[in-house]
Amino acid sequence: MAALLKRLLRLWSPSVALGRPLGRREASQDCKPGTAVRVRFAPSPTGFMHLGSLRTALYNYIFAKKHQGSFILRLEDTDQTRLVPGAAENIEDMLEWAGIPPDESPRRGGPAGPYQQSQRLELYAQATDTLLKTGAAYPCFCSPQRLGLLKKEALRNSQTPRYDNRCRNLSQEQVAQRLAKDPKPAIRFRLKEEAPAFQDLVYGWNRHDVASVEGDPIILKSSGFPTYHLANVVDDHHMGISHVLRGCEWLASTPKHLLIYQALGWQPPQFAHLPLLLNRDGSKLSKRQGDIFLEQFAAAGFLPEALLDIVTNCGSGFAENQMGRTLPELITQFDLARITCHSALLDLEKLPEFNRLHLRQLVSSEAQRHQLVGKLQALVEDTFGSHLQDRAVLDPAYTERILLLRQGHICRLQDLVSPAYTYLWIRPAVDRVQLGAISKEADMIARRLLGLLERLGMTLSQDVLNDELKKLSEGLEGTKYSHMMKFLRLALSGQLQGPAVAEMIVSLGPKEVRERIQMVLCS
Ligand code: GLU
């Protein structure tokens, strides 16, 4: 068998079979698991970043930061047939956008790189060699046709398909014969009868005799690429991962991983499987895939802060549910022990409310407000562009005033360029007939308001204006206060509904109000 093994190992030597050398292997192997917290988010770039993946990344991030640890992004791109162009970039872009950037990643590099599995093939080959040497793995020569038939047969008998371990006990001669015909067999891991029990930090003690329900899994494909089960064990080990926080769909695979750790003589990390994130009705989030991609939320004006808050708010891990938590608060308040096994139900209808809250928090910070002003100016420019009659509306002081006045009323910055707020940026076309129908005293009201503005000067306050507007209606012959306000709102905004008239006057400023009112007089 020794000679045969040698041959097999030679066939699998990376320089022959795998091509790409591992960039920083030395450094990577030095990075032994220690006491430091090191966690990883390990998506496959087979799709763009969505709310489910954001949640997994976030729990890893806050756990790392809570323990002064490192948050690593590793791209699991070993299934080359399912790669989606742009997905890898999107995942890293979206982590940055969400404000939870990795400490180590394909883009940022780091001591345990490379951070893309397709560039770590040598490590998987080495681990496979070790497993072959000790007999914990064996070559499998079964053809795809045979495996397909096995699967069909199982399904016909309403059984879960499993490999029948046919190549498990081939003799030396049989292996030699088959190798001559098929020099690149897949390699399977020999599952032991007794899988170790383990304590999941969320689901508690688990024991699952995987060999009784599954056939021996392939760990290295004939293409030289590993499967997920081998790759995640090898990488978590070499990257010094201390805790694996991942979706609970991987809970049942963990015993398999533990057997691989055992066979390689490695200490496994601690596991914490996260319960599912579902829609409010309990359906799978993926059923709404189309509208849960982060890029779409970003384009629609939702804030990363609101998304982080809503995906943690619907789940567990905190002493209480509370809206409006910021990332630093999430970090200090998070407690892994408080994650329960219940699925988290996400109610996206509440997202605008979360966004309103976080937008308000940002407006209250001068530095953040400054940035929002820039964004709002860009939105106004994009939306109205050449229609802007007066470029003065792009003045930062004007935009900031609008933000300060409307915070709490709007959910997204985008709301401020919606039809209801167009009057802020473009003079309205006021319907004279409609104005006349509200009050016959148009000239009188207009002149009184102009007089009032003259008296009040440049600095207007809503409180003072509210008092003065009440007085303004006194003495009008046939126009009640409420009608006068309706008249003014229409004259200033072209709308019958909207913010309070006093607020409209403050936001537009005395000069613009004067001009709009004079237009009424001229009509
Ligand atoms: N690539 C796997 C996934 O996208 C990662 C699972 C894990 O974290 O171990 O689900």
Q: How many CB atoms lie within 10 A of CB 485?
A: 19
Q: Report d(CA 196, CA 211) in Å as an integer.
A: 12
Q: Which of 100-104, 114-118, 160-164 has the lowest mean pLDDT?
A: 160-164
Instruction: For the chain, give the percent of residues with pLDDT over 90.
Output: 76
pLDDT for position 459: 82
The dihedrals phi and psi of 218, each to the nearest 5 degrees, come to -70, 135
pLDDT greater than 70 at residue 12: no
Beta strand segments in 60-153, E: 70-73, 137-140
pLDDT greater than 90 at residue 404: yes
Tell me which residue of 297, 304, 411 sits closest to 359, measured CA to CA.
Answer: 411
Helix, strand, or coil (residue 275): coil
Amino acid at the residue 513: V
Tell me which residue of 156, 160, 115 sits closest to 22, measured CA to CA.
Answer: 115
Amino acid at the residue 55: R
Pairing assessment for the beta strands 70-73 and 218-220 based on DSSP bridges:
unpaired
Helix, strand, or coil (residue 206): strand
Task: Count the alpha carbons within 13 Å of 331 in the hemisphere toward its beta carbon.
Answer: 13
The residue with tokens 């690429």 is 225
Helix, strand, or coil (residue 38): strand
Q: Which of 151-155, 224-228, 282-286, 395-399 has the lowest mean pLDDT?
A: 282-286
Q: Report d(CA 70, CA 242) in Å as an integer.
A: 10
Which two structure tokens, joined as six digits, stand for 359? 């937008």
Confirm or reject: Cβ of 42 under 6 Å from ligand 1: yes
pLDDT greater than 60 at residue 238: yes
pLDDT greater than 50 at residue 25: no
pLDDT band at 34 (very low <50, low <70, confident <90, very high): low
pLDDT greater than 50 at residue 11: no
CB contact at 8 A, 80 and 286? no
Confirm or reject: Cβ of 44 under 6 Å from ligand 1: yes
Helix, strand, or coil (residue 482): helix
pLDDT for position 16: 31
pLDDT greater than 70 at residue 340: yes
Q: 499-502 long-range contacts, Cβ below 8 Å, gap at least 24?
A: 499/405, 499/406, 499/409, 500/462, 500/466, 501/465, 501/469, 502/462, 502/465, 502/466, 502/469
CB contact at 8 A, 134 and 187? no
Confirm or reject: Cβ of 235 under 6 Å from ligand 1: no
Pairing assessment for the beta strands 198-200 and 70-73 based on DSSP bridges:
unpaired
Confirm or reject: Cβ of 79 under 6 Å from ligand 1: no
Shortest-distance Cα residue to atom 4 of ligand 1: 43
pLDDT for position 23: 30
Q: Edge to edge, what strands does the sheet with 38-41 contain? A: 70-73, 38-41, 243-247, 270-274
CB contact at 8 A, 243 and 199? no
**Ligand 1 centroid – CA 3 distance (Å):** 37
**Ligand 1 centroid – CA 280 distance (Å):** 24
Task: Find out whether the peptide bond into 114 is cis, omega within 30 degrees of 0.
Answer: yes
Mean pLDDT of 8-30: 36
Q: How many CB atoms lie within 10 A of CB 80?
A: 9
The dihedrals phi and psi of 359, each to the nearest 5 degrees, come to -65, -40
Residue 40 CA: which ligand 1 atom is closest? Answer: 8
Q: Report d(CA 509, CA 207) in Å as an integer.
A: 70
pLDDT for position 33: 44
Strand partners, 272: 245
Instruction: For the chain, give the percent of residues with pLDDT over 70.
Output: 92
The residue annotated as part of the active site, out of 6, 152, 284, 287, is 287
**Ligand 1 centroid – CA 246 distance (Å):** 7
**Ligand 1 centroid – CA 213 distance (Å):** 22
pLDDT band at 289 (very low <50, low <70, confident <90, very high): low
CB contact at 8 A, 205 and 197? yes
Pairing assessment for the beta strands 38-41 and 70-73 based on DSSP bridges:
parallel
The dihedrals phi and psi of 221, each to the nearest 5 degrees, come to -85, 165
Residue 76 CA: which ligand 1 atom is closest? Answer: 1
Amino acid at the residue 424: L
Which two structure tokens, joined as six digits, stand for 294? 């982060």
pLDDT greater than 80 at residue 9: no
Q: Report d(CA 100, CA 87) in Å as an integer.
A: 18
Q: How many CB atoms lie within 10 A of CB 26?
A: 9
- For ligand 1, mutation pick of 59, 74, 228, 254 (most atoms within 8 Å of CB): 228
Mean pLDDT of 465-491: 89
CB contact at 8 A, 343 and 282? yes
Which two structure tokens, joined as six digits, stand for 143? 């053809």
Q: Which of 94-103, 204-213, 428-437 has the lowest mean pLDDT?
A: 428-437
Phi-psi region of 201 (alpha: psi -120 to 50; beta: other; left: phi over 0): alpha
Helix, strand, or coil (residue 480): coil
Give the predicted TM-score (pTM) of the model: 0.88
Which two structure tokens, joined as six digits, stand for 194? 């007794």
Mean pLDDT score across all residues of the chain? 90
Confirm or reject: Cβ of 90 under 6 Å from ligand 1: no
Helix, strand, or coil (residue 327): helix
Mean pLDDT of 20-39: 48
CA distances from 374 to 40, 355, 367, 473 (A): 35, 18, 11, 39
CA distances from 431 to 363, 388, 490 (A): 35, 20, 8
Tell me which residue of 228, 285, 234, 195 sits closest to 33, measured CA to CA.
Answer: 234
Q: What is the pLDDT of residues 368-399, one digit of tens each?
A: 999 999 999 999 999 998 888 677 778 999 99
Confirm or reject: Cβ of 384 under 6 Å from ligand 1: no
Q: Is 32 a catalytic residue?
A: no
